[in-house]
């Protein structure tokens, strides 16, 4: 037998859902860029409208997945709760921007 800690199925599912959300978020942003490029490059509003439909659908799915992920913060499994709460805490952390270095003239 292995001495490695076992991840609960619920925690595994939460991690898989988070990976899915990240990939879907990147795809959604790519669709938005594609829509904007279709309008700028060709002025083809039909192509942009088609991509826009995909973008809206991906955005809706992303919102649903995000709501499901947030709900896991109240899961019965402590490992799942800890993972989800850590991710949500990191997402809600204030953004800190390092001060700009002054350059001597």
pTM: 0.77
> 4 near 70, Cβ under 8 Å?
no
* pLDDT tens for each residue of 8-34: 999 999 999 999 999 999 999 999 999
The pLDDT of residue 9: 92
DSSP output for 1-57: ---SPPPPHHHHHHHHHHHHHHHHHHHHHHHHHHHHHHHHHH--HHHHHHHHHHHHH
């Amino acid at each position: 037998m292995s001495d490695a800690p076992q991840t609960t199925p619920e925690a595994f599912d939460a991690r898989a859902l988070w990976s899915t959300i990240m990939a879907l978020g990147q795809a959604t942003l790519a669709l938005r860029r594609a829509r904007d490029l279709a309008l700028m490059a060709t002025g083809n509003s039909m192509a942009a409208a088609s991509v826009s439909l995909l973008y809206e659908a991906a955005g809706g799915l992303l919102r649903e997945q995000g709501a499901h992920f947030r709900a896991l913060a109240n899961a019965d499994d402590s490992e799942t709760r800890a993972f989800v709460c850590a991710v949500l805490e990191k997402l809600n952390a204030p953004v800190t921007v390092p001060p700009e270095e002054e350059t001597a003239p």
